[in-house]
Amino acid sequence: MTPFRPTSYDRPGEQISTTPSGLKVTTAKRLMVDSMVRMIQKAENHSVEDKLDEESNNN
């Protein structure tokens, strides 16, 4: 189920979201952080797979 998000005519930099800790963050920053987290997670997953492949090739 998708969360209800009201429509807004504001630009992403002008839209404000509230974090669980109560901080107010612009939507643009939230999207940027989400994107960076996904990139880091993908990089970590690939590096783990590469290490496992190296270990299996060495044995």
Residue range 1-59, pLDDT digits in tens: 445 566 667 776 677 777 788 888 887 888 888 899 999 888 887 777 777 777 777 76
The span from the CA of 26 to the CA of 46, in Å, is: 31
Beta bridge partners of 25: 17
The span from the CA of 58 to the CA of 30, in Å, is: 42
Beta bridge partners of 24: 18
The span from the CA of 1 to the CA of 31, in Å, is: 20
Q: How far does CA 18 lie from the centroid of its chain?
A: 16
Sequence ranges of the domains in the chain:
18-56
